[in-house]
Amino acid sequence: MLQIEPHEIQIDCPTTTRGSYAWQSILKARDVISRGAVWRVGSGESINIWRDRWLLEDHHRRIITPGPNLLVHSTVNELITEPQMVWDHSLIDSLFIPYDAEAIKHIPLSNHKHADKITWPGNMNGEYSVRSGYRFLVDEEDKSLPSSSRPDPRQSLWRSIWALKIPKKCQMFAWKASREALPTKLNLYKRHIPVDSMCEICGEIEEDAIHALWNCKQIQSFHVGKSFRSTPAVDFADLLSKVLHVGRSSDPETFIVICWALWQRRNKLRIHQEVEPINQVGSKAKCYLEEYNRENDHSNPNPQAAPATRWMPPKMLRYKINYDGAVFKETNEAGIGVIVRDSQGLVMASLTQKVLFPLSVPSIEAWAVKRSIQFALEIGITEAEFEGDSQTIVNALNAQHPSLAPFGLLLADAKELASKLQNFSFSHVKREGNRLAHALARKAHSCNSLEIWMESIPPDLEQLYLSCLNLL
Ligand SMILES: [Zn+2]
């Protein structure tokens, strides 16, 4: 993991010298970061309104409203009213077109002035990783193709490969093969590397990806997907998208693993290592895939034995407070639900509140936990177990280091508020155990802005409440 500080991006290192491979990768990563990173608004003082990337929407990171010349050096804090730390809606509406204005107003702000941070949006936790950087590059490359109104076929090919339950190395292999990026003999030949370009196995035809993995006469008998042979494929990408497009029935997993195994065998052959007979490649690949699935099958083999998750009373402290968020896409709003119960399951208080959608599900969950702690303090509770159904948020709450994610400041606020309690804990429960908080969050849709029920819940949720209580 790499935490990114602003100054790290501004360093200029010479890229002309032929450094080591590792160093070049680091330079490459830095380049990726500077193109893909996004500011998370703390105080807003370090962020230029017009030039920097600081909006939270995937395809809308920068302000598109042209900036008036006079304001070219203005920073984001000028759009924030202090000391309340809220967006200045009327100023924002007067400066920006509605598309930008809405995006700004939905960015969650902390009650406190934190430093602005450069974060990496490709990862849930805001930290840079090689894998998310790689995906960013792939996406960016796809975007740089001539634009068309249709979704890019290569992007959807990549997504389909990524979704398959096969080892990562096989996914990477399939992706490379479909981009003609394997070091096939024809590819080497084209790059003026002196090789004989004929197939390693049959020696009759030039070896490109589609030949080595599909067309070679020697492999046709045991390869899966015979139905695809009726129409010849242009290249491997064409073949693979057909196999993936047909989906389950064509068994794309086995198809790819056989291709991968063929390529491994071919590589060994190239350096004169011992290999298994070619007609065993198919069955060995299938065994390998079965083995992989057995090891990675975490689904419950015996569903009857698993007790259904349900709400449980607090374990250690006097109260348990469940919180949840809900998103109302149509109106770009969101809901927060909170319910406080004691060790017998009796309701102390419940809350439903409507807010602007902070542009991501984890952010609304973070807002919900912050609101739930605030609520506890408002009604005079001094100890509680806070329980939500987002593992991401609970992990971040229990982590030692502050989160760089867009929701990190909401969590910093939450922790700061929690420190005013005598005792507290943060735990995770599956959705079924958080049903009342969820229902309260959904209820915000039809509520004005905030509704609170002391020692009760809204009448229309009583049935649900009793059914949870019955289970105790
Ligand atoms: Zn061949």
How many angstroms is it from 198 CA to the middle of ligand 1? 8
How many angstroms is it from 267 CA to the middle of ligand 1? 14
How many angstroms is it from 239 CA to the middle of ligand 1? 17
How many angstroms is it from 423 CA to the middle of ligand 1? 70
CA distance 144 to 124: 25
At 380, which CATH number? 3.30.420.10
How many angstroms is it from 188 CA to the middle of ligand 1? 16
Q: Note the pLDDT of residue 418.
A: 96
The answer to whether residue 150 sits within a structural domain is no
How many angstroms is it from 207 CA to the middle of ligand 1? 7
| 359, 402: one domain | yes
Among 279, 295, 311, the domain-final residue is 295
| 64, 193: one domain | no
> Quick one: residue 359, left, alpha or beta (phi over 0 = left, psi -120 to 50 = alpha)?
left
| 216, 334: one domain | no
| 124, 233: one domain | no
What residues pack around ion ligand 1 (CB closer than 5 A)?
199, 201-202, 216
How many angstroms is it from 197 CA to the middle of ligand 1? 11
Nearest to 378 by CA among 408, 346, 340: 340
How many angstroms is it from 458 CA to the middle of ligand 1? 72
Its pTM surpasses 0.75: no
How many angstroms is it from 211 CA to the middle of ligand 1? 6
How many angstroms is it from 270 CA to the middle of ligand 1? 14
How many angstroms is it from 206 CA to the middle of ligand 1? 8
How many angstroms is it from 431 CA to the middle of ligand 1? 54
How many angstroms is it from 185 CA to the middle of ligand 1? 11
How many angstroms is it from 205 CA to the middle of ligand 1? 6
How many angstroms is it from 161 CA to the middle of ligand 1? 25
How many angstroms is it from 265 CA to the middle of ligand 1? 13
How many angstroms is it from 293 CA to the middle of ligand 1? 31
Q: Note the pLDDT of residue 188.
A: 84
Among 115, 134, 153, the domain-final residue is 134
The answer to whether residue 49 sits within a structural domain is yes
Q: Note the pLDDT of residue 409.
A: 94
How many angstroms is it from 218 CA to the middle of ligand 1? 7
Q: How many domains does the structure of the chain reveal? A: 3
Which phi and psi angles does 227 have, rounded to 5°? -60, -20
| 423, 289: one domain | no
How many angstroms is it from 217 CA to the middle of ligand 1? 6
- Give the ranges where 324-360 is alpha helix by DSSP (H): none
CA distance 15 to 89: 45
Nearest to 317 by CA among 415, 384, 417, 372: 384
The answer to whether residue 139 sits within a structural domain is no
| 323, 464: one domain | yes
| 251, 326: one domain | no
Q: Note the pLDDT of residue 13.
A: 40
**In 3-state terms, what secondary structure has residue 454?**
strand
| 464, 337: one domain | yes
Q: Output the CA–CA distances (angstroms, integers) from residue 13 to 16, 37, 78, in the order listed.
A: 9, 19, 34
Peptide bond into 83 cis (omega under 30): yes
The answer to whether residue 333 sits within a structural domain is yes
How many angstroms is it from 261 CA to the middle of ligand 1? 15
CA distance 290 to 250: 16
CA distance 335 to 265: 56
CA distance 353 to 367: 11
Q: Note the pLDDT of residue 431.
A: 92
| 374, 419: one domain | yes
Under a CB-based contact definition with an 8 Å cutoff, are residues 360 and 56 in contact? yes
| 87, 214: one domain | no
The answer to whether residue 116 sits within a structural domain is yes
The answer to whether residue 179 sits within a structural domain is yes
How many angstroms is it from 259 CA to the middle of ligand 1? 14
The answer to whether residue 300 sits within a structural domain is no
How many angstroms is it from 215 CA to the middle of ligand 1? 7
The answer to whether residue 458 sits within a structural domain is yes
272 lies in which domain range? 166-295
How many angstroms is it from 247 CA to the middle of ligand 1? 27
**What does the DSSP 8-state code read for residue 353?**
E
Q: Note the pLDDT of residue 298.
A: 54
| 338, 462: one domain | yes
| Tens-digit pLDDT string for the chain (472 aa) | 344 444 444 333 444 444 445 555 555 566 666 677 889 999 999 999 998 899 988 778 899 888 777 788 899 999 999 889 999 999 998 888 888 898 999 999 998 889 998 887 766 777 766 666 666 666 665 554 444 344 556 667 777 887 888 988 898 889 889 888 888 888 888 877 788 889 988 999 999 999 999 999 999 988 988 888 888 888 898 899 889 887 666 789 999 999 999 999 999 988 888 999 998 999 999 999 999 888 876 554 444 444 567 899 999 999 999 999 999 988 889 999 999 998 888 888 999 999 999 988 999 999 999 999 999 998 888 999 999 999 999 999 999 888 988 899 999 999 999 999 999 999 999 999 999 999 999 999 998 888 888 888 898 898 888 777 655 5
| 462, 360: one domain | yes
Among 89, 115, 134, the domain-final residue is 134
